[in-house]
Amino acid sequence: MKVQSVAVLWQIWSRKSFVTSSTLRAFSTSLINPSNSILMSPSLVSLDCPDTWTSGSVQSDRSSVQKYTSKHVAQILDGKVMAEEIRSGIALEVKRMKESIGQVPGLAVILVGQQRDSLTYVRNKKIGSEEVGIKFLMTMLPDNCTENEVCKALQSYSENPSVHGIILQLPLPRHLDEGKILGLLTLDKDVDGFHPVNIGNLAMLGREPLFIPCTPKGCIELLLRSGIDIKGKKAVVIGRSNIVGLPMSLLLQRHHATVTIIHAYTKNPDKVAHEADILITAAGVPNLVCRNWLKPGAIVVDVGTTPVEDPECEHGYRLIGDVCFEEASKVASAVTPVPGGVGPMTVAMLLHNTLESAKRAFKFS
């Protein structure tokens, strides 16, 4: 399923674009110069190792099976605090860049329509950019805009040397060809990591994508900073979108988890989820995951965000996740809140990708 999805994306891209010599140089640079110490996540190539099977490889690991009393309360994985630490490191690097060469990274966002969750994401990206000193640009287009209008905005930012990262806020309205438009995105400015070449390199051992998609990257960084070991764990991902589910499953495999994907056609999804040591859900279905979906002691990462009307909130609505938080807190060993969990980490990873893109463009180290 994963290989087929990547193959389809590659076919779309190969008809619309080509790999330039500058792109190849960028790949080489990303391998020679790994990310600085702002993040705990290592380069993916450094994780690669051969699958060597021995008689001792197949064994039952019951160490993660735990039983909790009714008084148990899960550890809260506070993405907001972790993201603040990462943003502080990014701000220092941006300041050092400005003082050294008189330049700062630039991030451009193209937003089509007025979806509430997309507006929330873009607003947080703008605030985050301004906090760390990254220049922020935005083009807003109506729901009924043409494909050509989106492509023109994309081309304009691609040709702008002061822009080092371009975000095409997804999902797009149904009448727009998402695959075609993403195929036109300049690879070395694809800070969201959705370009078919980036996804392809994420899927393949021995390859390093220029950019890892921000939400999966943020989930991994959150787990590592929480001291959670991924290697050898049973990881279940709920959802298989190109934005989160697919790249999340690929990234977990690169970290040597044993990965299962649950989608809308999976039979007995609660039973499949119950096997997970690490459950990452990105279905966008409020309170989908309840107590009986979770193995005692599981790590639960909730990527889902669904806007719900709430006149008492600042913007007239609030966000709720895929996981029934109160129930999960009594079963899981650790769980992320919504909001305040994965969201801030996603924005932090976007800012980090933009910084790394600017460093490559300016040859700044």
Rounded Cα–Cα distance for residues 131 and 123 (Å): 12
Rounded Cα–Cα distance for residues 261 and 239 (Å): 7
Rounded Cα–Cα distance for residues 249 and 238 (Å): 10
pLDDT attached to residue 318: 86
* pLDDT tier, 69 (very low <50, low <70, confident <90, very high otherwise): low
Instruction: Look at residue 66 and tell me whether its pLDDT is greater than 90.
Output: no
Residues 6+ apart with CB under 8 A from 145: 112
Over the stretch 301-326, which tens digit does the pLDDT of each residue have? 999 988 888 888 877 888 899 999 99
Over the stretch 241-298, which tens digit does the pLDDT of each residue have? 999 999 999 999 999 999 999 999 999 999 999 999 999 999 999 999 999 999 999 9
Rounded Cα–Cα distance for residues 68 and 84 (Å): 32
Q: What number is the average pLDDT over the span 44-59?
A: 69
Q: Are 226 and 250 in contact (CB under 8 A)?
A: no
Instruction: Look at residue 67 and tell me whether its pLDDT is greater than 90.
Output: no
Instruction: Look at residue 8 and tell me whether its pLDDT is greater than 60.
Output: no
Tokens at 198, concatenated: 């980036």
Rounded Cα–Cα distance for residues 75 and 94 (Å): 33
Q: Rounded to two decimals, what is the model's pTM?
A: 0.84
Catalytic residue numbers?
A: 125, 169, 192
pLDDT attached to residue 17: 38
Residues 6+ apart with CB under 8 A from 177: 147
Q: What number is the average pLDDT over the span 323-347?
A: 96
* All structural domains of the chain: 72-79+210-345 (3.40.50.720)
Half-sphere exposure of 31 (CA within 13 A, CB side): 11
Task: Decide: helix, strand or coil at residue 285.
Answer: coil
